[in-house]
């Protein structure tokens, strides 16, 4: 049986005076914000529903991010739109490093895997 969960919460600390729970949505937002900080990333890519919500003015910072939690281990799948003229391998590597680093720093969770999918390229004339 696979214990991975795509949604829900992860109990992080049971030793103190209580327990800390981190929602997978929080981890997804951290990943989305971190990816957007990388130079060369134009925007996050998401499904059509997220795209429509974004055009209506509501920002979804976890758009294009899928998080799998399994006993303190986080796997992230992230889809981004790149700016034209940037190196895809270089920007992808920076996204992987930034996302992993931010999640580990903010939550203490281990992030051994960040998969980046380039969903599109923005030509800069929008």
Q: Is residue 1 part of a domain?
A: no
What is the band of 63 on the pLDDT scale with cuts at 50, 70, 90? confident
Q: What is the CATH number of the domain that holds 69?
A: 3.30.70.1350
Residue 18 zone, left/alpha/beta (φ > 0; ψ -120 to 50; rest): beta
Domain membership flag for residue 56: yes
**Domain contains 110:** yes
The whole domain housing 105 covers 9-122
Domain count, the chain: 1
Q: Is residue 64 part of a domain?
A: yes
Q: What is the pLDDT of residues 70-125, one digit of tens each?
A: 877 899 999 999 999 999 999 999 999 999 999 999 999 999 999 999 999 998 76
In a domain, 2, yes or no: no
User: In this structure, are residues 35 and 100 in contact, taking their beta carbons and an 8 Å threshold?
Assistant: no
* pLDDT confidence of residue 30: 93
Within-domain flag for 52: yes
Q: What percent of the chain has pLDDT over 90?
A: 51
For residue 5, report the phi and psi dihedrals to the nearest 5 degrees: -130, 135
The answer to whether the CB of 78 falls within 8 A of the CB of 64 is yes
Contact present, 108 and 73 (Cβ < 8 Å): no
Report the SS3 class of residue 117. strand
* 105, part of any domain: yes
DSSP of 47-93: -HHHHHHHHTT---TTTTEEEEEETTEEEEEEEEEEETTS-HHHHHH
Please give the average per-residue pLDDT across 39-66, as a whole number.
67
Nearest to 43 by CA among 53, 33, 52: 33
């Amino acid at each position: 049986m696979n214990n991975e969960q795509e949604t829900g919460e992860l109990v992080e600390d049971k030793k103190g005076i209580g327990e800390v729970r981190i929602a997978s949505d929080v981890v997804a937002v951290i990943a989305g914000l971190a990816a957007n900080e990388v130079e060369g990333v134009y925007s996050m890519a998401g499904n059509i529903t997220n795209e429509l919500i974004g055009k209506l003015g509501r920002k979804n910072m976890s758009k294009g991010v899928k998080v799998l939690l399994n006993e303190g281990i986080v796997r992230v799948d992230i889809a981004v739109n790149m700016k034209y003229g940037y190196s895809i391998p270089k920007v992808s590597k920076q996204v992987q490093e930034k996302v992993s680093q931010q999640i580990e720093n903010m939550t203490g969770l281990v992030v051994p895997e960040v998969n980046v999918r380039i969903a599109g390229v923005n030509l800069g004339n929008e």
